[in-house]
Every structure is written in structure tokens, then in C-alpha cells.
């Protein structure tokens, strides 16, 4: 057991540092928060720069444009880009951390060839279509219907919490393909081309006042059967593949970002009780970073350990604790969202962490039942 | 980077676990620490791991098992020493209680800058009638005995580092044992016609216990790796984080385990209180939750 990075890892780190030092000062200024067209252009431009420099798809297969690098170098990438304050994935989130990994794991060769290189180059932006107004924590109860008609599914229904719905080229869409079996057994996972007739996107205003979320209304949308990922009615298993990425790796970059926020907050802290609390938060984040390294080691040996179930639960609680602390530190500087630093906006944004991607209550059920083997609730 | 137990370390863990299950089961733990227990641990090589060529990560794995089994005694102070060794840390507030005084062959006394030894038999006094932890007898050292300086500030720093790591490891083992006790009880105990572990209110307490333990364990292993190779991290921050989270995991799991066990959790018969009381004792060893939080904050 050790924490040593290899010589090759350190070479990778050195090269990346040099590249970031050259590239970051050359970036154009970030666009306004609500200008989605400009934000798409800005975020995908950054993704293209990463791709051209060989820093896109570090864990993805080489034949589809990825780098197939060891997990240690993926961690270094997150450490270094965060330390250098490089841009976050932004509108590329669903493609890079959700749909892309799902297609890598479950897609056909043709689907991989078609989508993966475009996602990595920033040419294709994805949005999400999982939750429904009536299906949140009980996601498998979803009712959006897909009826087979020759080479197409005719899809009708409503989705909510569609991240980047306003600007997505494709959506990852869960539909009910068999209403006559148990709820988990009748679901399929589709790639939804967002330019098809019958799709209406309405932005959803969140506690931040604006947001990357939208509602999606689908009225007899004809989706080619070739857009299905995985077998028909096997979508629940595919969904769990997607969610395992979201709950596992997708939170790693959040974690490194939180460590940066701790460093930003430290100079503002005067009260000894606040300092102690900040030390506490830092210790928790350090520990979650150690747990991430442990998870990565175990995954690279082919057996994801129990820690993979726990990251999101532990991290989201710490991040909110840090958010509470930052507001206490700011006192009345906190009365303006975009006043002093990004602390207030972050406090609002991170209210979602214990809800999105499975509420903390659902996560505790999963840990209790799948990790500890406690009996299920009666249904 | 290979941040998980190696095959040898798994064998080490399993070996010490089965040895403790066989030789020091809870029935014997409840009778308290004695010399025969110390001799058996000595023969098993527990205190000589470093001189026998093992690393700090290996020692941490062994101490985690000692904590899981709640083996009593001054086990951390005795690490790497000859004979049963106790410790008195003058930098900690409150009454100067010496633990396990009647069993000690040697006593280490720590202040802010150095390590000294004292003859334990020169300390007069009788153990307190009602110690918080029934398995940790304490005797008040009314006046300080004659001290012989044996270590400078560097030696003190090394001793505090090893003490924080091994105590953190012991506490993580305790937090794990408390989770296991609670989960077993929640699967077995029935109310309203079904196991209480099927209720979310109980299930979520158990889920939080295992998450807390896994996070603390990762932190503790990281600190052990940094102690083995200081080039891989900030040692002081790693150790403080590990001790802080291990203490918190053991104490909070102790409280949660009491709650999961309901009325039984408030009885002498159920083992949970022995773990919780030890966790409170160990928060006063090698830095508390609060002092370590301050140490981490000072690195920011």
C-alpha cells in the first residue's frame, strides 16, 4: 500500500503543468451566465483545446479518440487542472461524464465511432432526460412511452431536470418500452437527437435564478431504433451503469474544486471557531480524496470496493457544511450572490448536491441494502 | 500508486484477526488488561513490527485489528518499547491521570519539547474507584515523579506521530466493530413484525456508520503511507486529519450503535458502551478532535 506516483505519472504531471501555464492566459473571457449560446461556444472551445493537446478522454479507449491512460494520471489531471484554475467541464458534463462513459461501456461499435470522438472534440453536446415530474427518487416508475413502429420508436411524455436541455445535440433518454411487466423490466435507454420534430424545451428556473436545467416535452417524437443503447427493456441496467459513473467519478472533480474553495476561504476566516470548522472540513475533503485513490486502485484491479458507493454521500454533506461555514464567515458580505468571491453562489448551487443523482436518503438505502445487507423496505 | 492492502497485508490482517478472536475474545477483554495478555501480544510480534522490518502501514493494519477486538492496555505507548509502557502527556489539560499504572514497567512523560521517563513505582496513589472506561484504570499523579530526559524535540515529534497514527488505526477498528455490532442487531431484532434494519430510520444510521468508517479508514491509511514515505504528502496534516476523523468515527458510531440497540444499548451487558467509553478516553491521547482540526486549519 503506497501513495507514490510513478515516474511516468510525474512526467505526465510536468507536461500538463507546462501546457496549462501556456494555455490558460490565452483563454478569452468567460461569457455571461445566462448566455447559453456563448457558454456552449466557450466550453466546447476549451474541450477542443484539451483534445488537441491530448488531454481529452483520458480513460476512454484510444480507438475512439481517448487516451486509455492509467487511473493515476486521470487523478493527476484533476489535481493539476483544478490547482491551475482551469475551466470546469461545463456544458460537456453529460457527454463526458454521463452519456459518453455509458456508450463506452454499453454502446455498439457504430455508436461509439459516431459519438465518442465528437464528444471528446467538443463537437457534440449532450443533455439528460432521466427524471420525470412523477418519477424522481422512484426513477424506475417513469412513464414516458416509446411504442415501436418499424425502425422507429414513437416517444411521448415529459422529462424534467434536463441538464443543458437548451443547447444539447443529443439527450440520454429513458423510456418505457414495455408497460406490461415489472417497472424495472420495461425500460430502454435511447439517444435522442434533439432536432427531431415534436420536442419542446422549456428552461427551468432554479433557486439560482437561472440554470442549466430544462423541462422536455415529447409529442410523438420518432426516434430511430438504431439510437437505442443496450437491449430493448434492458435500460434499467444500462441506467445503473450511467449512475455509477455519476455517483463515482463525476464527483471527483467536484471534490478537488471544493479543496480549492477551502483555500480561497481561509484568508477570510478570523474567528477561531470558524478556523477550527474550516480545518474540520479540510480534513474531511482530504479523507475523501484518499478514499477516491483507494476506489481508483480497487477499480483498476477490477473489483470496485464499497467505497465507490459512499463518495457522493460523504462529499455532498461536507460540501454543504463548507457552504454553511462560508456564509457565517462572510456575515453581511453574503447578502449579494455575486459580491465577494463565489461562496454565496456555491452555497446555493450545492443545495442540489444532496438531491441530484439520487438523494442522500436514497444513497443511504443503497449503502444500507447493498453494502450492509440490511433488509429492504416493504413495497 | 497502489493505495490498497497488498496480498501480504491482507494475510497480516487476517492472521492477527484470527489470533485475537481465538486468544482475546470479548469475554477475556472484559476482565481487563494483564501481563499474560501483554506477553501473548509480544510473542505475536505486535510491539516489534518496526524492528522486524514492517512498515507503518503494516503496523496500522495490526492496530486496527486490536481496536476491532477492543484489546485493553497501553498498547500504543508500548509499541517499539521493552516491557509494559505507559504514558503521561503533560500538554493535555485536566487531572494528571496515569492509565494502567499498576501494570506498568516503564512510564514515558511528554511535555511540549521533550520525552522523559519516570519510575512508575515512584508514583503513589490508588486507582480511581469509578473510571469512565471500566477497562482503563486511572490513577492520579498528584505530584510529578523524578524525570530522566530521554528524547529531544525530534524524538518527541516522532513519538507523537506514531502515537497519533496507531491510535487512529485502533479507533478505526473500533468504528468498524461498532458498525458490525449494529448491523447484526438490526438484522436480528424484530419490532412491528419485521427486522428493525428494514426501517429507514435505523438503516440510515447504519449507512452513516459505515460511510464514516470508510472515510476515516482511507484517511488513516493515507497518513500511514505518508509516514512510510514523507515525500508523498504533508505528514502533519495527514496525521491530524486521520486522528480527527478516526476519533469522530468511533465516538459518533458509539452513539449511533447505542441508539440502534435501543434499551439494550444502555445496558452493561451489551458491548457497545465499552467501545464508546474507550473512544472518549482515546480522544485525550495524541491530540483531540479539536486540536487536530486546529492543526489542519493552520496548514491552510
ipTM reported for the complex, 2 dp:
0.96
Which residue blocks in B115-234 are alpha helix, DSSP H?
Answer: 153-188, 200-228
Identify the CATH assignment for A7-88 out of 1.20.1440.130, 3.40.50.2000, 1.10.540.10, 3.40.718.10: 1.10.540.10
Strands A199-203 and A145-149 come out as unpaired
Q: Is A246 a catalytic residue?
A: yes
Helix (H) or strand (E) holding B39: helix B35-43
Query: Starting at the edge strand that comes first in sequence, how are the strands of the sheet with B106-110 ordered?
Result: B85-89, B106-110, B115-118, B148-151
Q: Nearest-CA distance from B236 to chain A in Å?
A: 11
Considering only CB atoms, A4 lies closest to which of B195, B232, B290, namely: B232
- Asked if residue B172 and residue B127 are part of one domain, the reply reads no
Packed helices A36-53 and A109-121: angle between N→C axes, nearest 10 degrees? 100
Interface probe, candidates B289, B297, B298, B299, chain A, greatest A C-beta count within 10 A: B297
- Spell out the domain ranges in chain A: 7-88, 127-233, 248-371
Residue B215 and residue A284: Cβ atoms within 8 Å? yes
Of A287, A294, A361, the CB nearest to B241: A287
CB-CB under 8 Å, A278 with B297: yes
First-to-last C-alpha distance (Å) of chain A: 43
B163/B284 Cα distance (integer angstroms): 12
Say if residue B264 is in the same domain as residue B227: yes
- A–B interface: beta-carbon pairs under 8 A: 180
B160's grid cell? 507523537
- Does B63 fall in a domain? no
Answer whether A290 sits within 8 Å of B3, measured CB to CB: yes
pLDDT (0 to 100) of residue A245:
66
Residues of B in contact with A9 (CB under 8 A): 1
Contact B211 A367 (CB under 8 A): yes
Q: Are B137 and B131 in contact (CB under 8 A)?
A: yes
Q: How distant is the Cα of B270 from the closest Cα of chain A, in angstroms?
A: 21
Beta bridge partners of A200: A217
Among the partner-chain residues A283, A314, A377, the one whose CB lies closest to the CB of B240 is: A283
pLDDT in tens, B98-108: 999 999 999 99
Residue A297: predicted pLDDT: 84
Total domains present in chain B: 2
Check whether residue B116 and residue B221 sit in a common domain: no
Whether the Cβ atoms of residue A97 and residue A250 lie closer than 8 Å to each other: yes
**Is A375's CB within 8 Å of B233's CB?**
no
pLDDT of residue B184: 98
> Which of B203, B206, B211 is facing A314, going by the closest CB pair?
B211
Query: pLDDT tens per residue, chain A (379 residues)?
Result: 999 999 999 999 999 999 999 999 999 999 988 899 999 999 999 999 999 999 999 989 999 999 999 888 988 998 899 889 899 888 999 999 889 999 999 999 999 999 999 999 999 999 999 999 999 999 999 999 999 999 999 999 999 999 999 999 999 999 999 999 999 999 999 999 999 999 999 999 999 887 789 999 999 999 999 999 999 999 999 988 777 766 656 677 788 889 989 999 999 999 999 999 999 999 999 999 999 999 888 877 766 677 777 988 999 999 999 999 999 999 999 999 988 888 999 999 999 999 988 899 999 999 999 999 999 987 6
The residue ranges of chain B whose pLDDT is under 50 are: none
Q: Which of A80, A124, A132, A246 is catalytic?
A: A246
Domain annotation covers residue B27: no
Same-domain check for residues B141 and B273: no
State the CB neighbour count (10 A cutoff) for residue A121: 17
Nearest to A263 among B224, B295, B300 (CB): B300
Do B210 and A275 make contact, defined as CB atoms within 8 angstroms? no
Residues B162 and B141 in one domain: no
Cβ-based contacts of B2 with chain A (< 8 Å): 1-2, 297
Which of A163, A256, A160 lies closest to A215, judged by CA?
Answer: A160
Domain A127-233 = CATH 3.90.950.10: no
Under DSSP, the state recorded for B116 is E
| Chain A residues within 8 A of B296 when measuring between CB atoms | 279-280, 282-283, 286
Do B181 and B273 fall into the same domain?
yes
What is the model's pLDDT at position A341? 83
CATH superfamily to which A248-371 belongs: Butyryl-CoA Dehydrogenase, subunit A, domain 3 (1.20.140.10)
Comparing CB atoms, the residue among A275, A283, A361 nearest residue B241 is A283
- SS3 of chain A: CECCCCHHHHHHHHHHHHHHHHHHHHCCCCCCCCCHHHHHHHHHHHHHHHHHHCCCCCCCCHHHCCCCCCHHHHHHHHHHHHHCCCCCCHHHHHHHHHHHHHHHHHCCHHHHHHHHHHHHHCCCCEEEECCECCECCCHHHCCCEEEEECCEEEEEEEECCCCCCCCCCEEEEEEECCCCCCHHHHEEEEEEECCCCCEEEEECCCCCCCCCCEEEEEEEEEEEHHHEECCCCCHHHHHHHHHHHHHCCHHHHHHHHHHHHHHHHHHHCCCHHHHHHHHHHHHHHHHHHHHHHHHHHHHHCCCCCHHHHCHHHHHHHHHHHHHHHHHHHHHHHHHCCCCCCCHHHHHHHHHHHHCCCCCHHHHHHHHHHHHCCCCCCCC
Q: Which of the residues B169, B214, B240, B248 would you substitute to probe the A interface, choosing the one with the greatest number of A C-beta atoms within 10 Å?
A: B214
Domain range spanning residue B146? 95-152
> Cα–Cα distance between B181 and B209 in angstroms, integer?
11
A288/B245 Cβ within 8 A:
no
Residue whose cell numbers read 503511507: B225
* Shared-domain flag, residues B130 and B199: no
Please name the residue of chain A whose CA is at the shortest distance from the CA of residue B228: A2
Written as nine digits, the cell of A279 is: 480545518
Distance CA A87, CA A81 (A): 8
CA-CA distance, B71 to B82, in Å (whole number)? Answer: 19
Fold match between domain A7-88 and domain A127-233: no
Q: Are B23 and B36 in contact (CB under 8 A)?
A: no
Q: Which residues pair with A188 in a beta bridge?
A: A175
Shared-domain flag, residues B119 and B205: no
Is residue B41 within 8 Å of residue B85, measured between CB atoms? Answer: no
Between chains, do A276 and B197 touch, taking CB under 8 Å as contact? no
Q: A276 and B297: CB-CB below 8 Å?
A: yes
Are the beta carbons of B232 and A2 separated by less than 8 Å?
yes
Q: Provide, as residue numbers in chain A, all residues whose Cβ is less than 8 Å from the Cβ of B245.
A: 283-284, 287
Query: B71 is written with which cell numbers?
Result: 484489546
- Average pLDDT over chain B reads 97
Query: B176 lies in a domain?
Result: yes
A contact test, residue of B203, B252, B287 with most A CBs within 10 A: B203
CA distance B294 to A272: 9
- Mark whether B250 and B287 lie in a shared domain: yes
Put simply, the answer to whether A275 touches B297 (Cβ < 8 Å) is yes
Do B282 and B196 share a domain, yes or no?
yes
Amino acid at each position: 500500500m503506497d501513495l507514490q506516483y510513478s515516474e511516468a505519472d510525474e512526467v505526465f504531471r510536468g507536461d500538463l503543468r507546462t501546457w496549462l501555464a501556456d494555455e490558460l492566459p490565452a483563454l478569452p473571457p468567460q461569457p455571461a451566465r445566462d448566455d447559453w449560446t456563448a457558454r456552449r461556444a466557450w466550453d466546447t472551445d476549451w474541450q477542443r483545446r484539451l483534445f488537441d493537446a491530448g488531454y481529452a478522454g483520458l480513460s476512454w479507449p484510444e480507438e475512439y479518440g481517448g487516451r486509455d491512460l492509467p487511473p493515476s494520471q486521470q487523478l493527476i489531471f484533476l489535481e493539476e487542472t483544478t490547482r491551475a484554475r482551469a475551466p470546469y467541464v461545463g456544458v460537456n458534463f453529460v457527454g463526458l461524464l454521463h452519456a459518453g462513459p455509458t456508450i463506452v461501456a454499453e454502446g455498439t461499435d457504430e455508436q461509439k465511432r459516431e459519438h465518442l470522438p465528437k464528444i471528446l472534440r467538443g463537437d457534440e453536446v449532450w443533455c439528460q432526460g432521466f427524471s420525470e415530474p412523477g418519477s424522481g427518487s422512484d426513477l424506475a416508475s417513469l412513464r414516458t412511452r416509446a411504442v415501436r413502429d418499424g425502425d422507429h420508436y414513437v416517444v411521448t411524455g415529459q422529462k424534467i431536470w434536463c441538464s443543458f436541455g437548451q443547447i444539447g445535440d443529443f439527450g440520454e433518454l429513458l423510456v418505457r418500452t414495455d408497460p406490461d411487466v415489472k417497472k424495472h423490466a420495461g425500460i430502454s435507454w435511447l439517444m435522442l437527437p434533439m432536432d427531431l420534430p415534436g420536442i419542446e424545451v422549456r428552461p427551468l428556473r432554479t433557486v439560482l435564478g437561472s440554470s442549466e436545467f430544462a423541462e422536455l416535452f415529447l409529442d410523438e417524437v420518432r426516434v430511430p431504433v438504431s439510437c437505442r443503447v443496450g437491449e430493448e427493456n434492458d435500460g434499467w441496467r444500462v441506467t445503473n451503469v450511467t449512475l455509477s459513473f455519476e455517483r463515482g467519478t463525476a464527483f471527483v472533480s467536484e471534490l478537488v474544486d471544493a479543496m480549492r474553495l477551502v483555500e480561497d476561504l481561509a484568508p477570510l476566516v478570523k474567528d477561531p471557531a470558524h478556523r477550527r470548522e474550516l480545518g474540520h472540513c479540510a480534513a474531511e475533503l482530504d479523507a475523501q480524496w484518499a478514499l477516491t485513490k483507494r476506489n481508483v486502485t480497487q477499480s483498476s484491479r477490477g473489483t470496485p470496493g464499497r467505497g465507490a458507493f459512499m463518495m457522493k454521500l460523504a462529499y455532498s454533506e461536507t460540501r454543504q457544511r463548507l457552504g454553511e461555514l462560508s456564509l457565517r464567515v462572510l456575515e453581511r458580505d453574503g447578502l449579494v450572490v455575486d459580491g465577494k468571491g463565489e461562496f454565496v453562489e456555491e452555497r446555493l448551487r450545492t443545495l442540489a448536491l444532496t438531491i441530484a443523482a439520487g438523494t442522500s436518503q436514497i444513497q443511504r438505502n443503497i449503502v444500507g441494502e447493498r453494502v450492509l445487507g440490511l433488509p429492504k423496505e416493504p413495497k | 500508486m497502489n493505495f490498497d492492502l497488498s496480498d501480504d497485508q491482507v494475510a497480516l490482517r487476517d492472521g492477527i484477526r484470527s489470533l485475537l478472536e481465538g486468544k482475546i475474545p470479548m469475554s477475556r477483554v472484559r476482565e481487563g488488561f494483564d501481563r499474560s495478555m501483554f506477553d501473548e501480544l509480544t510473542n505475536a510480534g505486535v510491539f516489534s513490527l518496526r524492528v522486524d522490518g514492517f512498515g507503518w502501514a503494516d503496523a496500522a493494519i495490526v492496530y486496527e485489528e486490536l481496536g476491532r477486538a477492543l484489546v485493553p492496555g497501553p498498547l500504543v505507548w508500548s509499541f517499539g518499547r521493552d516491557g509494559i509502557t505507559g504514558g503521561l502527556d503533560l500538554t493535555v489539560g485536566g487531572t494528571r491521570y496515569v492509565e494502567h499504572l499498576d501494570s506498568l514497567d516503564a512510564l514515558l512523560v511528554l511535555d511540549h519539547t521533550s520525552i522523559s521517563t519516570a519510575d512508575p513505582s515512584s508514583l503513589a496513589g490508588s486507582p480511581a474507584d469509578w473510571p469512565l472506561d471500566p477497562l482503563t484504570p486511572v490513577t492520579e499523579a498528584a505530584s510529578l515523579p523524578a524525570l530522566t530526559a530521554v528524547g529531544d524535540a525530534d524524538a518527541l515529534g516522532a513519538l507523537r506521530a506514531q502515537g497519533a497514527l496507531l491510535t487512529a488505526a485502533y479507533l478505526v477498528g473500533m468504528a468498524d466493530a461498532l458498525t458490525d455490532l449494529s448491523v447484526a442487531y438490526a438484522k436480528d431484532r424484530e419490532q412491528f413484525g419485521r427486522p428493525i434494519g428494514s426501517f429507514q430510520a435505523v438503516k440510515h444510521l447504519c449507512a452513516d456508520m459505515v460511510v464514516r468508517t470508510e472515510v476515516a479508514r482511507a484517511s488513516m491509511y493515507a497518513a500511514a503511507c505518508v509516514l512510510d514515505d514523507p515525500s508523498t504528502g504533508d505528514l502533519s496534516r495527514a496525521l491530524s486529519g486521520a486522528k480527527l476523523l478516526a476519533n469522530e468515527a468511533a465516538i459518533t458510531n458509539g452513539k449511533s450503535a447505542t441508539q440502534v440497540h435501543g434499551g439494550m444499548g444502555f445496558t452493561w451487558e451489551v458491548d457497545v458502551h465499552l467501545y464508546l467509553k474507550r473512544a472518549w478516553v482515546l480522544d485525550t491521547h495524541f491530540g483531540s478532535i479539536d486540536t487536530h482540526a486546529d492543526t489542519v486549519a493552520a496548514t491552510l
